[in-house]
Structure formats: structure tokens, C-alpha cells
């Protein structure tokens, strides 16, 4: 199939960006979206032009590196699918595809489609962990955990930290990301010990980084490639309220 791409090009964080139009000829349906971009880049390099910069690494939907807004939707709008796992069979001959970076103030554009998501790391550094040092841990089976709790914790822990939730939110809120970690650790006995301190500090770091407020529109859940549920945001709000009451 033959496609037309409208791609956001931006030299660096300080320069203004603009859309450029490129043809993408002879695209096969079995290619992934990023492989299609690889081919377009091969053509640009052959013409002596700068290739389109975009982030990717594992290309199997787990590392969370790829970060494209495709036709206005973070990751392209296929349930449970990151941009790297999106395949060209979902497009048809003659389509025009718009490709943009994550757009959110806490995620400055570094170049073209590459953004800086260090703010998400800062939130984890503030409290997204269990404070145990290596060594001296009790036997893994010393503390039984009900299977439903372990499963629900795993549902939350599946977050890949890609930031699509932020990109999709009109307020650039990171609540889905933060709530996933708060819920994962808060559901497990290991994480309950410091639950108040954790949620208070993570919310503070989220606000400090400039992420917006949550108005529960659910746009984050709709684009999340790992299906992280909005219910975790409700859980986090309860955790946060509880922490405030307890004076954390």
C-alpha cells in the first residue's frame, strides 16, 4: 500500500516544530508501524536528509520506550497495543497518517518524536518502592498472600511507564501511572508498611513535576497498552485520603 505521513519535526526543545509531509510507498501489511518508519528513514538518509528521530527499543510492547501519537491517539488506538506492536494491516492504501510526539508540559520534546519522560522516574524515586535493603529477607513463602490480591497487584504492576496516559489526558495528568504503582505496592503486605508515606510523597512529586489534575474522563485508560484500570485511580484517592487523615 502507499501512504502519506504527516510527521512532527522539531530540532530540539528550544526550537519551534512543524509538520512535514513524506510519502511512504510500498508498505507491506505485515510490517510493524516502526518498521514502516525505518523504511521511510532509509529513504530520507539516501536523500541526505535527517531521518525522523523516534524512540523505540524492545519492539515487543514491554519496555515502554516507544511514544507516538498516531492519528491523534497515543499508540494508535488499538486495544492493548503499543506503537511498536501496531502492524500496518490496520491501515489501507491511500491513508494519510499523522504522527506526533507525546504532548505534555512535563514531557519536553528532545527532537522530532522523542520526548523526555524523566518526570516519571522522579515520581518513583519519591516513594514507588518498598524500603528493603538487599539481604536478610525472610523466606519467600513465609508470608502467604491471597491469590486475588497477588493477581490484582500484578494487574497494576503491568504498567510499562510509557506515559501514554499523560499524553492522552487533556490535563496531562499522571494519575493512572502513579495509581498503578501505589496500588501494586499497597495491595501487598510487603508494601503496606509504608503505604501512607508512599502515596503522600508520590503525589507530591507528581504535582511538583507539573502534571495536571485528574477529572476522571478515562482517556488514560482508553489508550493504556497494558489495560491499567481507572479503578486504581479510585484506590489511590482512597489511599491518599487515608494518608491525609493519618497525618502522613
Partner 1 sequence: MKLEANIPSGPLAQKWDKHRFELKLVNPANKRKFDVLVVGSGLAGASAAATLAELGYGVKCFCYQDSPRRAHSIAAQGGINAAKNYPNDGDSVYRLFYDTIKGGDFRAREANVYRLAQVSGNIIDQCVAQGVPFAREYGGLLDNRSFGGAQVSRTFYARGQTGQQLLLGAYQALARQIGLGQVKMFPRTEMLDLVLIDGHAKGIVVRDLVSGQVSSHAGDAVVLATGGYGNVFFLSTNAKGCNVTATYRAYKKGAAFANPCYTQIHPTCIPVSGENQSKLTLMSESLRNDGRVWVPKTKGDKRAPSQIPDSDRDYYLERKYPSFGNLAPRDISSRAAKEVCDQGRGVGPGGLGVYLDFADAIGRLGEAKIRERYGNLFEMYERITGEDAYHAPMRIYPAVHYAMGGLWVDYNLMSNIPGLFVLGEANFSDHGANRLGASALMQGLADGYFILPYTIGHYFVTAKRPKPATSHAEFKKAEAEVQALTQRLLSIRGRRTVLSLHRELGKLLWEECGMARNDAGLKRALERIPALREEFWANVNVTGGPGELNQGLEYAGRVADFMEFAELLCLDALTRRESCGGHFREEFQTEEGEAKRDDEHFAFVSAWEHQGSGKPPLLHKEPLVYEEVHMSTRSYK
Site for partner 1 in 81-120 (CB under 8 A): 81, 85, 87, 89, 110-111, 114, 116-118, 120
Q: Does 191 bind partner 1 (CB under 8 A)?
A: yes
Q: Does 15 bind partner 1 (CB under 8 A)?
A: no
3-state helix/strand/coil string of the chain: CCEEEEEEECCCCCCCCEEEEEEECCCCCCCEHHHHHHHHHHHHHHCCCCCCCCCCCCCCCCCCCCCEEECCEECCCCCCCCHHHCEHHHCCCCCEEEEEECCCCCCCEEECCEECCHHHHHHHHHHCCCCCCCCCCCCCCCCCCCHHHHHHHHHHHCCCCCCHHHHHCCCCCCHHHHHHHHHHHHHCHHHHCCHHHHHHHHHHHHHHCCCCCCCCCCHHHHHCCCCCCCHHHHHHHHHHHHHHHCCC
* Site stretch for partner 1 (CB under 8 A), options 42-50, 69-77, 169-177, 229-237: 42-50
* Site stretch for partner 1 (CB under 8 A), options 77-85, 169-177, 212-220, 233-241: 77-85
Nearer to partner 1, 100 or 155 (CB): 155
* Site stretch for partner 1 (CB under 8 A), options 68-76, 149-157, 211-219, 233-241: 149-157
Distance of alpha carbon 90 from alpha carbon 97, whole angstroms: 12
Q: Does 25 bind partner 1 (CB under 8 A)?
A: no
* Site stretch for partner 1 (CB under 8 A), options 55-63, 166-174, 208-216, 234-242: 55-63
Minimum CB separation of residue 68 from partner 1 in Å reads: 14
Q: Which of 4, 9, 58, 95 binds partner 1 (CB under 8 A)?
A: 58
Nearer to partner 1, 124 or 217 (CB): 124
Minimum CB separation of residue 153 from partner 1 in Å reads: 4
Q: Which of 19, 92, 137, 204 binds partner 1 (CB under 8 A)?
A: 137
Amino acid at each position: 500500500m502507499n501512504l502519506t505521513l504527516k510527521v512532527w519535526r522539531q530540532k530540539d526543545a528550544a526550537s519551534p516544530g512543524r509538520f512535514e509531509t513524506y510519502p511512504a510507498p510500498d508498505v507491506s501489511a505485515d510490517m510493524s508501524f516502526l518498521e514502516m518508519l525505518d523504511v521511510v528513514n532509509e529513504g530520507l538518509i539516501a536523500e541526505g536528509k535527517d531521518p525522523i528521530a523516534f524512540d523505540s527499543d524492545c519492539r515487543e510492547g514491554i519496555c515502554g520506550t516507544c511514544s507516538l501519537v498516531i492519528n491523534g491517539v497515543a499508540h494508535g488506538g488499538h486495544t492493548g497495543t503499543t506503537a511498536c506492536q501496531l502492524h500496518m494491516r490496520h491501515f489501507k492504501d491511500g491513508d494519510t497518517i499523522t504522527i506526533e510526539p507525546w504532548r505534555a508540559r512535563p514531557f519536553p520534546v528532545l527532537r522530532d518524536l522523542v520526548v523526555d519522560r524523566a518526570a516519571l522516574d522522579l515520581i518513583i524515586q519519591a516513594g514507588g518502592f518498598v524500603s528493603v535493603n538487599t539481604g536478610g529477607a525472610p523466606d519467600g513463602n513465609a508470608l502467604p498472600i491471597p491469590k486475588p490480591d497477588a493477581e490484582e497487584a500484578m494487574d497494576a504492576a503491568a504498567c510499562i511507564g510509557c506515559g501514554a496516559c499523560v499524553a492522552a489526558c487533556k490535563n496531562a495528568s499522571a494519575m493512572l501511572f502513579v495509581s498503578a504503582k501505589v496500588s501494586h505496592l499497597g495491595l501487598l503486605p510487603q508494601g503496606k508498611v509504608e503505604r501512607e508515606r508512599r502515596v503522600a510523597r508520590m503525589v507530591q512529586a507528581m504535582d511538583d513535576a507539573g502534571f495536571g489534575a485528574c477529572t476522571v474522563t478515562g482517556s488514560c485508560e482508553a489508550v493504556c497498552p497494558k489495560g491499567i484500570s481507572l479503578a486504581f485511580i479510585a484506590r489511590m484517592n482512597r489511599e491518599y485520603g487515608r494518608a491525609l487523615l493519618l497525618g502522613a
